[in-house]
Amino acid sequence: MGETTTGSGRTILIAVDESDETTYALSWCLRNFVTHSDTLLLLHAKPLPSSYTAMDGTGYAFSADITATMERYDIEVAGSLLAKAAKMCEDFGDEKQVKVETKVEGGDARDVICRVAEKLSPDVLVMGSHGYGLIKRTILGSVSRYCAQHVQCPVLIIKRPKSA
């Protein structure tokens, strides 16, 4: 096992972003998969500051002030997302005694998730599925599919029902 320390339970790496699909996947995982004494490692991938120039689209780079503001915003978003996810685990953890750790890494989500999974060797990686159709999946790619093909541990992809 990499950096994460566990007792006798499993280490479950859960990819966290701002989507409803992630919230559903975490909730489902807590209700149906997590057992007593598991360790949950909540991972959020935030964009690197160098990616802000690519978002401009006009060929002009953002000023240093704008880039710094965007970086602060990304840090606040990451903190808020992980706090919300950790609170969900804490509220649920009274029954199951789960240990929760959080981690923020910079970079493309698929690269970050695969890199952390390789480094920490979790027992399982849990991800929500955005359920993109063929066209969106072709254009945007599927992070969960990519990770399922590239990580060494089992991957549990949770798709939110249309009614949820």
Cβ proximity of 101 and 111 under 8 Å = no
Tokens of 44: 């959020």
Please write the tens of the pLDDT for every residue from 112-144: 999 999 999 999 999 998 766 556 555 556 888
The full DSSP string for 26-60 is: HHHHHHHT--TT-EEEEEEEE--GGGHHHHH-SSP
pTM: 0.78
Domains in the chain, please, with CATH? 11-159 (3.40.50.620)
117-121, 123-127, 145-149, 152-156: segment of lowest average pLDDT: 145-149
Please state which of the ranges 9-23, 35-49, 53-67, 103-117 shows the lowest mean pLDDT.
53-67
| Residues above pLDDT 70, as percent of the chain | 76
Burial of 27 by CB count in 10 Å (0-12 exposed, 13-18 middle, 19+ buried)?
Answer: middle
